[in-house]
């Protein structure tokens, strides 16, 4: 995500005051499993190639943030249900948020 600045604007060069030419942004990287990407589009394609795993990770991070605690073994069934709903609704963030806030996990916290 290096191509985006702090307020989400696209950039191709890093703005560095007082250093002369602004250096180009290097959007390349390596995923934890060793897969490499050269730019934002390749990164997106790698994530989309395993949408199910990305979806589960996104939901777990969302729940951790929303609940202000780490998810535990006892939460797995609720998280699986939210992931199931997400798959049925084509992984739309709006629907993931709705499924999370309507879940027993969130409602009975």
Quick: pLDDT tens for 60-97.
999 999 999 999 999 999 999 999 999 999 999 999 99
Q: Please, which residues have CB within 8 angstroms of residue 76's CB and are 6 or more apart in sequence? A: none
- Of the CA atoms within 13 Å of residue 102, those in its CB half-sphere come to 10
Q: Which two tokens stand for residue 40?
A: 């934002």
pLDDT band for 46, please (50, 70, 90 cuts): very high
Task: Note whether 105 and 62 are within 8 A (CB).
Answer: no
pLDDT at 19: 67
Residue with the larger pLDDT of the pair 4 and 37: 37
Q: Is the pLDDT of residue 18 over 80?
A: no
Single pTM value for the model? 0.74
pLDDT value for 72: 96
Looking at the chain, the whole-number percentage of residues with pLDDT higher than 70 is 99
Q: Which residue has the tokens 């180009």?
A: 24
| Separation of alpha carbons 101 and 95, rounded Å | 10
């Amino acid at each position: 995500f290096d191509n985006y600045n702090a307020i989400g604007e696209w950039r191709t060069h890093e703005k560095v005051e007082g250093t002369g030419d602004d250096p180009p942004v290097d959007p390349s990287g390596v995923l934890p499993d060793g897969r490499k990407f050269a730019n934002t589009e390749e990164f997106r394609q790698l994530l989309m190639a395993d949408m199910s795993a990305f979806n589960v990770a996104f939901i777990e991070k969302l729940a951790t943030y929303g609940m202000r605690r780490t998810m535990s073994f006892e939460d797995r069934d609720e998280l699986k249900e939210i992931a199931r709903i997400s798959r049925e609704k084509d992984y739309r963030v709006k629907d993931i948020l709705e499924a999370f806030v309507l879940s027993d996990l969130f409602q009975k916290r």
